[in-house]
């Protein structure tokens, strides 16, 4: 039988132990693996593999010895509890073997869990599970997780208080990160909020979200964007001591001012433009960039981008001028432009 949507999510979290088998297939191997890990953990628990209630096989193993899967389904261990026979990297070549294993399955046997890549509509492997009355086939698509799925991930991590604005930031973050990175971010958020009973805030999410620009580089870019000319020199000395290349600074500055320009030029205003930036920006950094975009305006930001383009060309040319000095002068000119 086919399974999808909320019913699939429910099965992954609380699988029915009397099912004969489950096929999880999709083009994104990480998404498939995460779902497989989730359902197996829900079936056999954290000690299941140590108690030898999980048997692992690959599609290649079954091509060499088809009897392996039948033996795994019927094998009885020393420990009580649900058992799983797991076949990874399956394909249509072993579909007859798995179809026969499902046909011979009886109550008390292990559940057969199979993972595969992209399968066509005519796939023999997919049909073997879809046509079986007591087995499921679940297709995993590359769509970003929805609100219900994110809430389930948060609940599993022990996070229950996520009000509107913070949830909006998490939804945006889930669209940009792959599932594994998003799950790690949620786990990091749970550790960050450990012992704190207050609701999650956008600032909390900003603190654990993967950074797009290094903090030290961010400092000097903010100094230039906020016309704090006197701070640029000391910050540049620190970056130079850390080995940051002038071209890297120029690329970071161009990215920063391009994001400000995109926000300032948005038809719905700078706030809407900031909300549409990709990758998304969270918490205090989002508010800061909004103030910068509103303070500069679209036309002055166009001038800033022109100045940065000229600086980039000079840094990449055969000029003998000290590169870090060229970049420092450009940032000071930006600060003076922003002060007008």
The token duo for 2 is 């086919």
Residue by residue, pLDDT tens for the chain (340 residues) are 998 888 888 899 899 999 999 999 998 888 899 899 999 999 999 888 888 999 999 999 999 999 999 999 998 878 888 999 999 999 999 999 999 999 999 999 999 999 999 999 999 999 999 999 999 999 988 777 778 888 888 888 888 888 888 888 888 888 777 777 788 888 888 888 888 888 888 888 888 877 544 556 888 999 999 999 999 998 898 888 878 888 889 998 999 999 999 999 888 888 888 888 877 777 778 888 899 999 999 999 999 999 999 999 998 887 788 899 999 999 999 999 988 7
The DSSP 8-state label assigned to residue 228 in this structure reads -
**Considering just the CA atoms, what is the radius of gyration of the chain in Å?**
27
**110 contacts 72 by C-beta, under 8 angstroms:** yes
Residue 70 · residue 104 · CB < 8 Å: yes
In angstroms, rounded to a whole number, what is the distance separating the alpha carbons of residues 276 and 270?
A: 10
What pairs with residue 297 in β-bridges? none
pTM of the model: 0.58
Tokens found for residue 163: 């009000």
Shortest CA distance to 87 belongs to which of 125, 52, 124, 50? 125
Q: Which domains are delineated in the chain? A: 2-139 (3.40.50.300), 147-208 (no CATH), 215-339 (1.20.272.10)
Tokens for 149, please give them. 């799925």
């Amino acid at each position: 039988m086919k399974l999808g949507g909320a019913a699939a999510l429910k099965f992954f979290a609380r699988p029915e132990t009397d099912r004969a088998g489950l096929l999880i297939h999709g083009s994104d191997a990480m998404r498939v693996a995460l779902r497989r890990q989730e359902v197996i953990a829900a079936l056999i628990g954290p000690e299941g593999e140590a108690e030898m209630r999980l048997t692992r096989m690959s599609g290649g193993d079954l091509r060499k010895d088809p009897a392996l899967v039948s033996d795994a389904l019927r094998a009885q261990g020393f420990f009580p509890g649900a058992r799983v026979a797991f076949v990874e990297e399956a394909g249509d070549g072993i579909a007859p073997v798995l179809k026969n294993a499902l046909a011979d399955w009886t109550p008390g046997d292990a559940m057969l869990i199979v993972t595969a890549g992209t399968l066509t509509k005519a796939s023999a492997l997919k049909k073997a599970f879809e046509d079986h009355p007591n087995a499921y086939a679940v297709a995993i698509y590359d769509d970003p997780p929805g609100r219900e799925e994110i809430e389930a991930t948060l609940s599993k991590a022990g996070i229950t208080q996520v009000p509107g604005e913070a949830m909006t930031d998490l939804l945006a973050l889930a669209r940009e990160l792959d599932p594994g990175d998003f799950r790690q971010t949620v786990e990091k958020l749970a550790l960050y909020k450990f012992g704190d009973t207050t609701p999650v805030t956008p600032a909390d999410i900003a603190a654990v979200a993967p950074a797009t620009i290094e903090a030290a580089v961010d400092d000097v870019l903010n100094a230039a964007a906020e016309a704090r000319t006197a701070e640029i020199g000391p910050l540049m000395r620190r970056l130079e001591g850390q080995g940051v290349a002038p071209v890297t600074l120029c690329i970071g500055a161009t990215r920063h001012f391009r994001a400000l320009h995109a926000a300032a030029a948005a038809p719905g205003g700078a706030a809407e433009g900031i909300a549409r930036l990709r990758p998304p920006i969270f918490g205090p950094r989002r508010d800061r960039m909004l103030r910068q975009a509103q303070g500069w305006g679209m036309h002055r930001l166009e001038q800033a981008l022109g100045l940065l383009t000229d600086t980039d060309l000079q840094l990449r040319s055969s000029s003998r001028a000290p590169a870090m000095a060229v970049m420092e002068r450009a940032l000071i000119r930006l600060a003076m432009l922003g002060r007008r």
